[in-house]
A and B are shown apart, each in its own frame.
Chain A
């Protein structure tokens, strides 16, 4: 009985971790700047490949993963300075531009890196509860998801950057008038979003098939979470993750994965219809 309950909780935590880690970076970029980043998957891929290359060169896995996140962040800042900054307040054009970047990067990586790499293997072994065995690393993933949420809370609520970033998010012109260097806020935020995407890739790198197009496997889940969560990362992403993880775990267990996948898409349609600003919009309106 306990084993059954643990199994259900474990699956829920696993789906939750995937949704949160996949979505956090996208949510920051969308929430701060209104940019829908279609190249989100490529930042994830960047994190994955940097991690794998580092591990193959003898770097210990945790350090390699940190490298993966940081490199994705740096690439993100570079991209923001050269291209994305022209696209603020043009959300539809930003979709097209980042889609273009995504096409170029994916196919470019396929040509340069080739399509098959040997994986690096999942660390930490397994543990047993009742008749079930579980990969211990999945707990690390769940811990990382909670850690990312907590970290974002601390960054946005307790640091100088956080205060200024939130001010920029709410009213960029006013923030600028009060002396906030909004351009720098945008660059840092985009970098942070890209780094979180890279972190997601770095964390999942040991558990998946390595192929340059693998970023897209995260895309639908991340978009769904962000849309359901709404523009505010702090208020929206976690509740959206919980809601969607419940929907998905339940449908996966009862009707199989296809129901889970279609269920996720239908949830989005319904949420947008009844809560056009996402969960965070609804929550913040209730506060007012």
Chain B
């Protein structure tokens, strides 16, 4: 099966665009072998809601970069596979992309489980891997470059503001898996530092859709505000059911609105009083952001909300481009030398962002947003550039050693 045939079918838009661009540019440029980008995003099953924007973001970035002449004159060839939310498929396809297609860089994965499935495989090669989601943080691995926001960026901004504005008593509901448990741990730690307390904590198994008991537990505890870290379509039903029971506490979150665009999916006022800190949400109103939105809408006129996953997937490719152009190489070791200088930066639609040398996570322009009763979104506070400082503080320094581990506040590196 010829690879070009497959690529055309898989991501016809990008391929056609790159072909058109290749014809336009001088023949010398077209003769260079393309840079192969392997992309693993789920576009079928439960999680397609998240995977589709990520694929779209990547397609848009590839098209733009190729139209502008590629990376160092080399076109990007995007090879996308759909692992269907299956961890075993993630492993198979990561191997396929690395060993058979011999991609120069691997990008993708939605859940942390899929990232953990990929990491050991990437680690046996010298290909860099970009994980483009916001997540629970803590991965200290030289092969992995994390583009999304992490808890210290989201919670260290959100929680002090929520405590000052609404009060010191919080009730946490969180999905009962790694992301939810670690985020709840972050909430606990930061609340303590703020002199507040977590007066109730509830972990909900993935897939649960009925929240009668939870709603009553919250009323019984009567907190000042709720930290909502519920994940997935089923658990989002909480908002509708809480609104129907007239639960009207202020809410905070690190994933709502910008990621699952719940304010567009539930009728008002289910999400009213929701607050979140994010590096991207569609309502950002700056010239760079508006320009990005316009380009996105032109390419995908029928797609819904532009969420932070799609946005991060888009910026990941530009970050890769910047790294390769500075390193004048696609090798992982050379890219990491650029990262080690601390000058791996790009001007993204959110503003300027850089990769932190110690943790290989990305600094972000964080903004606090609030949802109004009619589900419009207002920007409450601009925190400016926030570093992914936590891993470096606790002792992860990828410029010195590579433990290939995921740390958490209760599982710190041994000093």
Residues of A within 8 A of B (CB): 7, 10-11, 14-15, 18, 107, 110, 115-122, 125-126, 128, 131-135, 137-138, 206-211, 213-214, 216-217, 249, 252-253, 256-258, 261
Quick check: B176 and A258 within 8 Å, CB to CB?
yes
Pick the contact of A207 from B203, B241, B264, B265 — CB < 8 Å?
A: B241
Chain B interface size range: 35 or more
Quick check: B265 and A208 within 8 Å, CB to CB?
no
Quick check: B243 and A122 within 8 Å, CB to CB?
yes
- Contacts A121-B266, A213-B233, A214-B209 known; 4 new A-B pairs at CB < 8 A: A116-B265, A119-B267, A252-B213, A257-B176
Please measure, in the bound complex, the distance between the C-alpha atom of A206 and the C-alpha atom of B244, giving whole angstroms.
10
Pick the contact of A257 from B45, B204, B241, B304 — CB < 8 Å?
A: B204
Closest chain B residue, CB of each to CB of A133: B246
Smallest beta-carbon distance B306→chain A, Å: 13
Quick check: A217 and B244 within 8 Å, CB to CB?
no
Contacts A211-B49, A258-B176 given: A11-B213 contact, CB under 8 Å?
yes
Contacts A211-B233, A257-B204 given: A122-B213 contact, CB under 8 Å?
no
Residues from chain A with a CB closer than 8 A to the CB of B403 are none
Report if B282 contacts A (CB, 8 A).
no
Report if B216 contacts A (CB, 8 A).
yes
Residues from chain A with a CB closer than 8 A to the CB of B213 are 11, 249, 252-253, 257
Closest chain A residue, CB of each to CB of B44: A107
Residues from chain B with a CB closer than 8 A to the CB of A7 are 216
Quick check: B245 and A134 within 8 Å, CB to CB?
yes
Smallest beta-carbon distance A10→chain B, Å: 7
Please measure, in the bound complex, the distance between the C-alpha atom of A208 and the C-alpha atom of B261, giving whole angstroms.
15
Pick the contact of A126 from B214, B237, B244, B266 — CB < 8 Å?
A: B244
Report if B41 contacts A (CB, 8 A).
no
Smallest beta-carbon distance A1→chain B, Å: 13
Contacts A11-B213, A122-B241 given: A209-B267 contact, CB under 8 Å?
no
List of 10 A-B pairs having minimum Cβ-Cβ separation, nearest first: A135-B244, A122-B244, A126-B246, A115-B49, A121-B267, A14-B212, A133-B246, A211-B233, A208-B237, A135-B245
Please measure, in the bound complex, the distance between the C-alpha atom of A134 and the C-alpha atom of B222, giving whole angstroms.
15
Please measure, in the bound complex, the distance between the C-alpha atom of A207 and the C-alpha atom of B233, giving whole angstroms.
12
Pick the contact of B208 from A117, A122, A128, A257 — CB < 8 Å?
A: A257
Residues from chain A with a CB closer than 8 A to the CB of B244 are 122, 125-126, 135, 137-138, 207
Tally inter-chain residue pairs, CB-CB below 8 A.
120
Please measure, in the bound complex, the distance between the C-alpha atom of A164 and the C-alpha atom of B266, giving whole angstroms.
46
Residues from chain B with a CB closer than 8 A to the CB of A10 are 212, 216
Please measure, in the bound complex, the distance between the C-alpha atom of A246 and the C-alpha atom of B212, giving whole angstroms.
15
Please measure, in the bound complex, the distance between the C-alpha atom of A115 and the C-alpha atom of B305, giving whole angstroms.
12
Please measure, in the bound complex, the distance between the C-alpha atom of A133 and the C-alpha atom of B218, giving whole angstroms.
11
Closest chain A residue, CB of each to CB of B267: A121
Closest chain A residue, CB of each to CB of B302: A114
Closest chain B residue, CB of each to CB of A249: B213
Quick check: B266 and A119 within 8 Å, CB to CB?
yes
Contacts A118-B264, A121-B240 given: A217-B245 contact, CB under 8 Å?
no
Please measure, in the bound complex, the distance between the C-alpha atom of A213 and the C-alpha atom of B245, giving whole angstroms.
25
- Contacting residues of chain B (191-210) with chain A, CB-CB under 8 angstroms: 202-205, 207-210
Residues from chain B with a CB closer than 8 A to the CB of A132 are 216, 219-220
Quick check: A217 and B207 within 8 Å, CB to CB?
yes
Closest chain A residue, CB of each to CB of B45: A213
Q: Could you name 9 residue pairs across A and B whose Cβ atoms are closer than 8 Å?
A: A18-B210, A115-B52, A118-B265, A121-B267, A122-B240, A126-B245, A133-B247, A135-B241, A211-B46
Report if B48 contacts A (CB, 8 A).
yes
Smallest beta-carbon distance A261→chain B, Å: 5
Quick check: A11 and B237 within 8 Å, CB to CB?
no
Quick check: B205 and A258 within 8 Å, CB to CB?
yes
Residues from chain A with a CB closer than 8 A to the CB of B261 are 116
Report if B397 contacts A (CB, 8 A).
no
Residues from chain A with a CB closer than 8 A to the CB of B214 are 257
Quick check: B264 and A214 within 8 Å, CB to CB?
no
Quick check: B219 and A207 within 8 Å, CB to CB?
no
Quick check: A115 and B241 within 8 Å, CB to CB?
no
Residues from chain A with a CB closer than 8 A to the CB of B219 are 131-133
Please measure, in the bound complex, the distance between the C-alpha atom of A256 and the C-alpha atom of B105, giving whole angstroms.
42
Residues from chain A with a CB closer than 8 A to the CB of B222 are 131
Report if B236 contacts A (CB, 8 A).
yes
Closest chain B residue, CB of each to CB of A7: B216
Residues from chain A with a CB closer than 8 A to the CB of B48 are 110, 115
Closest chain A residue, CB of each to CB of B239: A209
Closest chain A residue, CB of each to CB of B84: A107
Quick check: A116 and B203 within 8 Å, CB to CB?
no
